[in-house]
């Protein structure tokens, strides 16, 4: 990429669409203006958008209740995606910027070769001066292998392109001290050094009912980003200059999450967050101490039990005696012949310790 700084901005369904489900062109236009402003200062931008299903149902649903079955939702997405993309094209055309559609599926991240191909494609668009507009390929995504929400997708895209910042624009002012529906005294948390259990308890659920995420998913996305060395900001979408305000960290413009100083490299971030684990192994206390305290490889002698049907080369979760997630890594053994496999089950170069995540 020709620029040294890149910002990924994600806009949620409740911000992209109106109460009736139609595309909210004012929000898209505000984001487009901000992207153009950042580009003029040398900052590349990638847009991750939600809203295809909601926009599609507004087009064909005729006021009926929104469907819940996967097949109909996929069909509705196929209707909404071109509507959404045309709206983004119009918004950016008004500021003299071209856009390119990038539809991604989980398999684009789980397979390393496909992951690198996706990265090259997005980089090529940026080098051409085109703003990539990314969405999950809802029309063909199977329920069991989808991202689940575009917050996680946006965090993975931020890692994919080596972004410096992830901005999650939503229908709240940011992360609040409590659910404002239940506690009117809730206030904005403006800065977060590290995400811990207490902060996770603060995160509430989606208020809109039209998105698949919520504050919990945004906090999870912020964790992925910050562990990858990317700053994250949860900020309101329906304000003047929403992206620029968040990027410049103006007072009250959302919650800023500091990136970890000991950031994961691109490959380890891919292992930790982009690939769905195929199985799990449980460890004894000694093995946990060796991994966490000494940075050792995972040896077969420390494994107490195995779950799943994974193969050598698959990513697996590594759990402690109490079932808590300790690490994630690439197994060197098949689950079926675990006892006869190599002594080193996961080499430390293929292991990411996540105990404090």
Same domain, 123 and 173: yes
Nearest CA to 5 out of 223, 162, 153 is that of 162
Range of the domain at 308: 277-353
Same domain, 207 and 87: yes
Q: Angle CA(70)–CA(74)–CA(75) in degrees, nearest 5?
A: 120
Paired tokens of 214: 């919520």
**How many domains, in total, are found in the chain?**
2
Q: Angle CA(302)–CA(308)–CA(312) in degrees, nearest 5?
A: 70
pTM given for the model: 0.85
Assigned domain for 15 exists: yes
Read off the CATH number of the domain in which 91 is found. Answer: 3.40.1160.10
pLDDT classification of 146: cutoffs 50, 70, 90? very low
pLDDT for res 204? 53
pLDDT for res 263? 80
- pLDDT mean across residues, the chain: 88
Assigned domain for 330 exists: yes
The answer to whether the CB of 308 falls within 8 A of the CB of 335 is: yes
Same domain, 182 and 261: yes
Paired tokens of 256: 């800023």
Q: Which range is least confidently modeled, 75-84, 127-136, 140-149, 261-270? A: 140-149
Distance of CA 87 to the CA centre of its chain: 23
pLDDT in tens, 230-277: 999 999 999 999 999 999 999 889 999 999 888 888 788 889 988 889
Same domain, 206 and 106: yes
């Amino acid at each position: 990429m020709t620029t040294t700084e890149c910002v990924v901005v994600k806009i949620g369904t409740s911000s992209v669409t109106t109460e009736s489900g139609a595309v909210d062109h004012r929000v898209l236009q505000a984001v487009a203006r901000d992207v153009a402003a950042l580009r003029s200062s040398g900052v590349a931008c990638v847009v991750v958008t939600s809203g295809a299903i909601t926009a599609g149902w507004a087009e064909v649903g005729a006021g009926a209740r929104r469907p819940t079955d996967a097949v109909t939702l996929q069909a509705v997405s196929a209707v909404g995606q071109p509507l959404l993309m045309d709206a983004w094209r119009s918004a950016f055309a008004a500021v003299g910027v071209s856009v390119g559609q990038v539809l991604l599926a989980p398999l684009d991240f789980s397979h390393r070769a496909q992951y690198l191909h996706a990265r090259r494609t997005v980089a090529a668009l940026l080098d051409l001066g085109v703003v990539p507009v990314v969405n999950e390929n809802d029309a063909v995504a199977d329920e069991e292998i989808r991202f689940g929400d575009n917050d996680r997708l946006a965090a993975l895209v931020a890692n994919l392109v080596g972004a410096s910042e992830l901005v999650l624009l939503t229908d709240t002012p940011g992360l609040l001290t409590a659910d404002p529906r239940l506690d009117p005294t809730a206030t904005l948390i403006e800065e977060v050094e590290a995400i811990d259990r207490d902060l996770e308890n603060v995160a509430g659920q989606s208020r809109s009912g039209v998105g698949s995420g919520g504050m919990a998913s945004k906090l999870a996305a912020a964790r992925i980003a910050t562990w990858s060395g990317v700053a994250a900001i949860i900020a309101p979408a329906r304000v003047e200059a929403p992206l620029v305000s968040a990027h410049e960290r103006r007072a009250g413009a959302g919650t800023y999450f500091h990136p970890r100083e000991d950031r994961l490299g691109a490959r380890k971030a891919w292992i930790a967050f982009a690939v769905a684990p195929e199985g799990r192994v449980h460890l004894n206390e000694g093995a946990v101490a060796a991994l966490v305290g000494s940075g050792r490889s995972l040896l077969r002698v420390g494994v107490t039990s195995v779950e799943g049907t994974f193969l050598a080369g698959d990513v697996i979760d590594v759990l402690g005696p109490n079932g808590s997630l300790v690490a994630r890594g690439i197994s060197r053994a098949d689950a079926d012949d675990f006892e006869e496999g190599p002594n080193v089950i996961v080499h430390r170069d293929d292991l990411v310790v996540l105990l404090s995540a």
